[in-house]
A and B are shown apart, each in its own frame.
Chain A
């Protein structure tokens, strides 16, 4: 277990260095370290340093945080719903958050209140609304059956997607930029975004870790968990709230990026089993690594044109997920 975490962390660092070094200009690892030191110390930056410190570092770190956040949220949703298909994208949370973020972008100028609250929190409000609606629709006799959860998620998600499209069409000249954002990407990453997302994601990771045993107990069903002393409703609400917040924060900076919250926890579960004490940190690290590499691919594959990273995660993640599914059913 400790070995898996250590190896995963090493791979993450390697991916980080690789992603910072590759691009229109190649940067050697030594130059990366030099630029980072200058950036941290606030020394004067040369043009190459600026590429590394002001463009690539925020971009790569943001990808890492968003990937970790989405994988974490996916693990938590799956744990709380006891449903391997629960994922920020599939259950509509991401669409709700996307609507909230687009609302701020289109109406922020005319409704100052929206801009003041900020995209992450407005996205959070709509993501919460989505989760509450989906839960309300999908719940049947205390349980949340898969089919109902996905159906309700898809329908509520479609509603918000339609509403988002309407806002985009109405926004006219801004529409192209927003659409590119909505498809998911890290093209406009800044250090201030990194700080905001870190502020949401890192405490959520710590909190989720603290509730690892509670998530384990929830796998016994609501009654089984209650019989072992868990205040089920309170814990579920808290965990859903945290997962939703992380999703909303991720969506508000990077648009809607599907599949990460589905395949990363799934792969981690196949490799490590269910106990959340090891599942949560592993999924977060793998999610960060996956997103860094997906973003690298997105900006390299037909450079200088950038592919929205959501397309990459779907194109890579979809077949990978199908392969996992097939392999698992073959293994019985």
Chain B
């Protein structure tokens, strides 16, 4: 259990006596795999990502990165290893898209280091692979929601983390860019990055993830390959909605009935 980003038996309570946002959750992301977290609203999906980036301290349980407790990392050291693309990130008004992506280099520069040619290259590559180069010179407040989401994704790519956490990275994107982001997540994994993403679209999850975690009310109710998790009886109970599971080659296709 030394490699990977691992949470073991983690419970999170927001305030004493409050309901458990996470309840005894154990989960590991290994280098090179894409793990998807699915589940109903309020199941605790984003909370898992926030625990893994130390934005929230677990009430109990242990989180480790490469075998070391997460708490033993400095903020800077953690940012070099783990990147999180938040669901609704703050828009830094007055910056160009390129400048926002370049902020992804901050963990590698420290407080006072200056940009080098290498950093410029990383930023350029990150913008190229996320198809954001075309609006590099536009102020971010003039971008659409989807364009902004891609810029923030590009920043996480420029961060060159060992683990990339994405909180609903496709929520504002049209079909083409949904596929593109997922393809890019897979490409990152292929080059050794561990990817953990929260995703609502079960079909997108089925196609892009090696493993899925189904959360319900802070507990893991299913964990395994998409085929094992996306089972109609489980989904119907957890989402309280009748569904039909079809097949498209290797992939399950979930169709709600109403």
Contacts and interface: CB of A to CB of B under 8 A. Distances in A.
A228 B152 CA distance: 12
Nearest to B94: A274
Contacts of A219: 90, 92-95
A133 interface: no
Nearest to A274: B94
Contacts of B84: 227
A228 B75 CA distance: 8
A141 to B, nearest CB: 12
Interface stretch (B31-39, B98-106, B120-128): B98-106
Interface stretch (B61-69, B107-115, B177-185, B202-210): B107-115
Interface string A200-239: 0000000000110110110111011011111100010000
A227 B92 CA distance: 15
Best-surrounded residue of B75, B86, B109 (most CB of chain A within 10 A) = B75
B139 interface: yes
A228 B94 contact: no
Nearest to B165: A227
Contacts of B111: 210-211, 213-214, 230, 235
Given A229-B106, A269-B94, A220 B76 contact: no
A273 B53 contact: no
Contacts of B104: 228
A228 B92 contact: no
B12 to A, nearest CB: 16
B202 to A, nearest CB: 27
Given A228-B103, A269-B94, A213 B83 contact: no
A213 B100 CA distance: 11
A275 interface: yes
Contacts of A213: 106, 109, 111
Given A223-B55, A226-B55, A227-B55, A217 B95 contact: no
Contacts of A211: 111
Contacts of A223: 55, 86
Contacts of B107: 228-229
B90 A210 contact: no
A273 B89 contact: no
Contact of B80 (A210, A224, A229, A269): A229
B112 A210 contact: yes
A98 to B, nearest CB: 31
Contact of B94 (A210, A220, A221, A273): A273
Interface in A52-76: none
Contacts of A227: 53, 55, 79, 83-84, 86
A129 B112 CA distance: 30
B95 A275 contact: yes
Contacts of B80: 229
B196 interface: no
Interface string A142-160: 0000000000000000000
Given A219-B93, A229-B78, A274-B93, A224 B106 contact: no
A164 to B, nearest CB: 36
B95 A224 contact: no
A229 B92 contact: no
Contacts of A226: 55, 75
Contact of B103 (A210, A217, A273): A217
Given A224-B89, A229-B78, A229-B79, A274 B95 contact: yes
A64 B256 CA distance: 69
Contact of A224 (B74, B86, B96): B86
B113 to A, nearest CB: 9
A293 to B, nearest CB: 26
Interface in A261-291: 269, 273-275
Contacts of B55: 223, 226-227
B132 interface: no
Contacts of B96: 273
A273 to B, nearest CB: 5
Given A219-B95, A273-B139, A275-B95, A224 B90 contact: yes
15 contacts: A213-B106, A214-B111, A219-B95, A227-B83, A228-B103, A228-B104, A228-B159, A229-B74, A229-B76, A229-B77, A229-B106, A231-B74, A235-B111, A274-B95, A275-B99
Given A221-B89, A229-B79, A273-B96, 12 more contacts: A210-B111, A217-B106, A219-B93, A219-B95, A220-B90, A220-B92, A224-B89, A228-B106, A231-B76, A273-B94, A273-B95, A274-B93
The 6 closest A-B CB pairs, nearest first, are: A274-B94, A229-B79, A219-B92, A229-B76, A221-B90, A229-B107
